[in-house]
Amino acid sequence: MSLKIPFFGLLGNRSPMDGLVEHYDKIAECIAAIDDSLECYVSGGVCREFEELTKAVDEIENHADSIKRNIRNHLPKGLFMAVEKPLFLNYTKSQDNVLDAAQDALHWLAMRKVTIPEDVQKDIIYLLDDVAKCTVLLGPALKSTIALIHGQSLDREGTKEAYRKVRRERDQVRKRKNELHKKIYAKDIDFKDIYQLIHFVDCLDDMGHNTENCAEILRSMIAR
């Protein structure tokens, strides 16, 4: 995939690629909120703080949506895009899907009170940690890609390694998700609890899956 000439600096003060970083920052806010929410939920059930944090995640996601719309509504003409517009739009969609999955994850927990078995609690927290690592690794991958596209960096191999780190962490998320599925299904608990926990785990896994998609699209942006 060939890069187009980066005319942004000549035509305006801000590249639409920079807007992706602003949108990405909302993922970090969501992860922090979910982390706090899960700790509250595991330790004390559906508490007031959990409900407040659920609303906070909704607000973060709404803000991210407005950033996404602003990016898409102010794209330069195709000739002046640093990368092909379909790739750019696919990336914004995948990155937004990470936030949507985060929002869905909390909504599944908030739907009704479910007692998480003690020996599953740590595994769920570890899964969330792995998802957080995966999404955190996307930040350097995105910024390195933008620097390369804008001609501010020549470190193509370093940028590719950033994608590989995301992929490796995503593999870890997938393995832990599969183990959690087995563990939860084996529990002698109400099937409604199993169903709810499985969906929560799947939403966390979706966050990892969409993060990996983002890295793959970034790789396509710099492919020769």
pLDDT of 5 strictly over 80: no
In tens, the pLDDT along 137-174 reads 999 999 999 999 988 988 999 999 999 999 999 999 99
Closest CA to 16 of 111, 87, 86, 88: 88
In tens, the pLDDT along 9-38 reads 444 456 778 889 999 998 888 887 777 777
Distance CA 222, CA 156 (A): 8
Greater pLDDT, 3 or 131: 131
The distance in angstroms from the start CA to the end CA of the chain is 5
CA 4 vs. chain centroid, Å, equals 27
> How much is the pLDDT for 1?
46
Which tokens hold the place of 120?
A: 């599953």
* Arithmetic mean of pLDDT over the chain: 85
CB 1 within 8 A of CB 222: yes
> How much is the pLDDT for 34?
79
Residue with tokens 């920052």: 25
CB 168 within 8 A of CB 214: no
Q: 3-state class of 109 per DSSP? A: helix
In tens, the pLDDT along 63-119 reads 888 888 888 887 776 556 678 888 989 999 999 999 899 889 888 888 888 888 888
> How much is the pLDDT for 160?
96
Residue with tokens 């087995």: 182
Distance CA 48, CA 17 (A): 38
